[in-house]
Amino acid sequence: MLAQPSISIVIPMYNESARVDLMLQGLREFVDQWQNDTEIILVDDGSDDDTITTIKSHSTYKQLAETISILSQSNTGKGGALKLGVSRASKEYTLTIDADMACSPLVLIHWLALKSRFYAKEVLIGSREHVDSDVLDSPKRKVVGNVFNKIIRLVTGMHYRDTQCGCKLYPTPVAKDIFVALRTMGWAHDVELLLRANRLGCAIVEMPIVWRAVPGSKINVWKDSLLMFWEVIRIRFLINTSI
Given a cut of 90, whether residue 231 has pLDDT beyond it is no
**Residue 242, pLDDT score:** 57
Cα dihedral: 81, 83, 85, 88 (round 10): -150
Given a cut of 90, whether residue 123 has pLDDT beyond it is yes
CA distances from 34 to 3, 39, 40, 199, 219 (A): 10, 11, 13, 31, 31
**Residue 243, pLDDT score:** 47
Of 28, 24, 31, 41, the C-alpha closest to 89 is 41
pLDDT in tens, 36-82: 999 999 999 999 999 999 999 999 999 999 999 999 999 999 999 99
**Residue 47, pLDDT score:** 98
pLDDT in tens, 128-147: 999 999 999 877 677 777 77
CA distances from 85 to 144, 161, 162 (A): 29, 26, 23
More confident residue, 229 or 68: 68
**Residue 28, pLDDT score:** 98
Q: Listing from the earlier edge strand, what are the strands of the sheet with 93-96? A: 68-73, 38-45, 7-13, 93-96, 168-171, 122-126, 203-207
Given a cut of 60, whether residue 221 has pLDDT beyond it is no
Average pLDDT over residues 99-124: 97
Of 62, 46, 69, 55, the C-alpha closest to 23 is 55
Average pLDDT over residues 100-119: 97
pLDDT in tens, 152-209: 888 888 999 999 899 999 999 999 999 999 999 987 899 999 999 999 999 999 999 9
Q: What's the predicted TM-score (pTM) here?
A: 0.92
**Residue 229, pLDDT score:** 75
- Which amino acid does the sequence have at 144? V
**Residue 19, pLDDT score:** 96
Which residues are CB-neighbours of 1 under 8 A, at least 6 positions away?
35
Which of 28-32, 141-145, 183-187, 233-237 shows the lowest mean pLDDT across its residues?
A: 141-145
